[in-house]
Amino acid sequence: MINVNFNSEDHLYIQIVRSIINQIASGNLKSGDKLPSRRNLAKHLDVSLNTVVNAYNQLLDEGYIVSMERSGYFIDQLAPDMIPTYHDADSIPPTPPNIPNNKEYRYDFHYSNRDLSNLNINQFLQSAPQSLESSIHHGKEKQGVYELRVSIAKYLRQYRGVATHPENIIITGGHWESLAIINSLLEDPLYAVEDPGYYHSQTEIPSINIPIDKYGFSVAGLEKTEANIAITTPNHQFPTGIIMGLRRRQRLLKWAYEKNHRYIIENDYYNEFRLNRNTVPSLTSLDQNERVILLGSFRQSLGSIFRLSYLVLPNHLIERVYQSKVKIPSISTFEQYLISQFLDSDYFTKYINSLRTNYRRKEKRVIETLKKSKIPITIHEAGAGLYFVITFDGDIPDESVISQRLKKTNIRFESVNQYSEVKLDQNSKSYILGYGGLSIDEIEPAIQYLLDIFH
């Protein structure tokens, strides 16, 4: 007879189902075995007949048993070793054994970390009802919600000096989705990427690495290749922070203008965040022949809350989007309306200004702490973003030793060489120090703890 150790957490019929399945899996009930009648099992388990009826019906639906008219219920022809077993809730460990703590690092100096403590969540809550209503009644638009594209066009004019029309903007689900759309629009693309840089090790796109020089992306190096697409970060080269000068920008544009199939993809990942001086106008704002594609997002101001990105395409490429029926993944319209209202609000400018003030304070504390160190350090391009590169001027342990020490002490701190295809000796002592995600109070102890690793 079938026995069940009932608990108070689950429905009785579900517990009967799980008990029978476990007995099939363990071999106690074999293919062809007959089950007790519903009435007899109900009496044996001291439950209602309806409870057993529900249990048998569930087992029939899932295919564990079969019903034979006037004969009863039988275990179907099953492979016991392929049947999952059920456990009591108390026997399941609270967390799997190999899952790390929520706080993965003791100190995290990664360049992408952001501090969103200044963000007033109520601003989004106030906009949520209207955004939800708008999304319910919204008709599908291939390029994304028109209201958001209008908001982005205004934003680009104010913060990036880019005069564009909402019709030239496409809303995407993230950076790599944007790149995939671009890739589908271009003919036989061969990408030239910065080295060191964000794209140096990406296998998704056919690429050639162009070593940067003291002015940033090397157009001289680009001109020696067969590449027809250049991906660059001119306003804050990643990871060095170098800002491309006007002469270099003009030379890069001239390269693109020389042949019809050449384009420049401007990854404007740092957009409005330039702390000590005014923001630098984007390369797109200088383009007169429609050869620059702008790739942007709001990750700097909103972190990873929204993974939405956007593209600004020249007219002829927008036409190609529809002519070739390029597939653009749909993004939550609720999210799009929410961001649109956020960008259009008076709060947005105040929020950006508060972020800049907060990050200026953090950068000042970082620099003060570094200068107090007994280790000679050169700081590169401070004030240009939410991280900077530091170079250890004296002798330090080998890069592999430093990597082992960082891992042992649970600190994330990356070298410039990690973003370079060609590992250069001059980069072996250079590291990317991101301070955006550190609280103001933990900056000094975090950096002091970090610097001890380099002794």
pLDDT tens for the chain, residues 1 to 455: 788 888 877 889 999 999 999 999 888 999 999 999 999 999 999 999 999 999 999 999 989 999 998 899 999 998 888 887 776 544 555 555 554 555 578 999 999 888 888 888 888 888 889 889 888 888 778 899 999 999 999 999 988 889 999 999 999 988 888 998 999 999 889 999 999 998 866 667 788 999 999 889 999 999 999 999 999 999 888 888 888 889 999 999 999 999 999 999 999 876 656 555 556 778 999 999 999 999 998 887 887 788 889 999 999 999 999 887 787 877 889 999 999 999 999 898 898 888 888 888 999 999 999 998 888 999 987 766 689 999 999 888 888 899 999 999 999 999 998 898 877 766 788 999 999 889 999 999 999 999 999 88
- Burial string for 189-221 (b: 16+ CB within 10 Å, else e) reads bebbbbbbbbbbeeeebebbbbebeeebbbbeb
Residue that is written with structure tokens 């809303």 in the block: 171
Question: What is the torsional sign of CA 125, 127, 131, 132?
Answer: positive
The tens digit of pLDDT for each residue in 227-271 reads 999 999 998 888 888 888 899 999 999 999 999 999 999 998 766
What does each C-alpha distance from 216 to 230, 246, 249, 323, 437 come to in angstroms?
13, 12, 10, 36, 26
Residue 187 has φ and ψ, to the nearest 5°, of -95, 120
Q: How far apart are CA 383 and CA 280, in angstroms?
A: 13
What is the separation of C-alpha 336 from the centre of its chain, rounded to a whole number of angstroms? 17
Residue 107 has φ and ψ, to the nearest 5°, of -135, 135
CA torsion angle for 388, 393, 397, 403 (degrees, to 10)?
A: 10
The pLDDT of residue 331 is 84
> Tokens standing for 11?
């429905």
The pLDDT of residue 353 is 86
Bridge pairing between strands 207-211 and 191-195? parallel
Q: How far apart are CA 272 and CA 222, in angstroms?
A: 28
The pLDDT of residue 451 is 92
Whether a cis peptide bond, with omega within 30° of 0, leads into 239 is yes
The pLDDT of residue 422 is 72
Q: Rounded to the nearest 5 degrees, what angle is found at the Cα of 302, between the Cα atoms of 298 and 307?
A: 60
Q: How far apart are CA 332 and CA 289, in angstroms?
A: 33
Among 186, 144, 161, 191, which Cα is nearest to 311's? 144
> Tokens standing for 389?
């590169």
Among 209, 239, 222, which Cα is nearest to 418's? 239
What is the separation of C-alpha 82 from the centre of its chain, rounded to a whole number of angstroms? 37
The pLDDT of residue 150 is 96
DSSP annotation of 95 reads: S
Q: Are 209 and 217 in contact (CB under 8 A)?
A: no
- Burial string for 81-99 (b: 16+ CB within 10 Å, else e) reads eeeeeeeeeeeeeeeeeee
The pLDDT of residue 279 is 65
3-state secondary structure of 433: strand
Kindly write down the DSSP assignment for every residue of 11-76, as one continuous string. Answer: -HHHHHHHHHHHHHHHTSS-TTPBPPPHHHHHHHHT--HHHHHHHHHHHHHHTSEEEETTTEEEE-
Among 153, 143, 155, 212, which Cα is nearest to 181's? 143
Q: What is the number of residues in the chain?
A: 455
DSSP annotation of 416 reads: G
Q: How far apart are CA 321 and CA 328, in angstroms?
A: 9
Number of neighbours of residue 64 by Cβ within 10 angstroms: 19
Question: E-assigned strands of 333-386?
Answer: 377-380
Whether a cis peptide bond, with omega within 30° of 0, leads into 196 is yes
DSSP annotation of 244 reads: P
Q: Rounded to the nearest 5 degrees, what angle is found at the Cα of 106, between the Cα atoms of 439 and 115?
A: 25
